[in-house]
Amino acid sequence: MGQLNIKDEALIADAKALAELLGTSTTDAIRRAVNDRLARERVGRDEEKRLRFERIMAIAKEASQLFPPGTSSDHSDLYDEDGLPR
């Protein structure tokens, strides 16, 4: 990929402080921090997708109660064997 050139002095100082606390290189400290944040973001987004799916399914369940019993989406009686309207 290439190099990452960070010009933010405060960020550089924080990365060095993190590296010292972790007992590792600055590069490794940044790698860990980015990987940790990336993992948290992915989990959060997966959870968001799951909750959205559950809400959609709840709406579908409610909506299905609005149709009379025996109602179907089968409209084959309206079309011939070639799929054309009768």
pLDDT of residue 26: 95
What is the tens place of the pLDDT at every residue in 16-45? 999 999 999 999 999 999 999 999 999 889
Q: Please determine, for residue 61, whether its predicted confidence score (pLDDT) is greater than 80.
A: yes
Share of the chain above pLDDT 70, in %: 99
- Using CA atoms, how far residue 28 sits from 46, 52, 80, 84, in Å, is 27, 36, 68, 65
Confidence bin at 60 (pLDDT 50/70/90): very high
For residue 37, give the nearest of 49, 48, 29 by alpha carbon. 29
